Structure 1
């Protein structure tokens, strides 16, 4: 009987399992949007080969407090997680970890280009 069970297990595992580029892109856009405080449709994602691993390039705005709110209360910047630069740097590792955990894909790096600021009155929600 154990020979039959082994044959069934091999049959179940035969073949290929692939995750489409579109699915990976959707995961990457969602992870980036969450990390940057914007919506997924505001994020552009592109993939490239980096010596056999995937390199992710993102272009997106980043959430920022309204300038009038910062003038009234400079502490509002802290409610968004710090400066745009600090948040973008921190977002790279957060996005890499999230995409890897959700997809199983092996990423070599995440490059982010901030394309603008998405002004908001509230702080970043986590």
Structure 2
């Protein structure tokens, strides 16, 4: 099912005399969502799955992805590292929702109503190894 893509242009722009419409493909929306989520969670876009559904004329985005975390040995040596790396997995997923909603809406012009996130695993973040 192709998501319903809304033209978010103001009424003045829509009435400028230019006939036609703009469509953003599902693939373009998905690539944009993957890039934004990969940047926020510090993971590869290839490891992210994105799904779209209609939410009363707007788009609902569903993401399944791993999150990047410091190695447990690094956290044991420096417990404050959890806070500096964005908090717990729950905190990071919660903070990502409004960021991703705004980012994807701003980049695509599509009206995203909500973001659902499913964390599927953990990837160790790159950093100096503990010796």
TM-score bin (small chain): 0.7 to 0.9
Question: Which residue is equivalent to 2:101?
Answer: 96
Number of aligned residues: 113
TM-score, normalised via structure 1 length = 0.85
Q: Going by fraction, where is helix more abundant, 1 or 2?
A: 1
Q: 2:74 aligns with which of 69, 84, 108?
A: 69
Q: Which has the larger radius of gyration?
A: 1
Listed as ranges, the matches of 1:15-26 within 5 Å are 15-26=20-31
Deviation at 1:37, TM superposition (A): 1.4
TM-score, normalised via structure 2 length = 0.81
Deviation at 1:89, TM superposition (A): 0.2
Residue 69 of structure 1 contacts residue 121 of structure 1 at CA under 8 Å; is this kept in 2?
no
Q: Which structure 1 residue ranges, 4+ long, deviate > 3 Å from structure 2?
A: none
Query: Per-residue displacement from partner, 1:32-51 (whole Å, max 9, x unpaired)?
Result: 11111111111100000011
Which segments of 5 or more consecutive residues in structure 1 lack a partner in the other structure?
Answer: 1-8
Which segments of 5 or more consecutive residues in structure 2 lack a partner in the other structure?
Answer: 1-15
Deviation at 1:121, TM superposition (A): 4.2
Question: Which residue is equivalent to 1:85?
Answer: 90
2:41 and 2:54 mapped to 1: Cα distance? 24
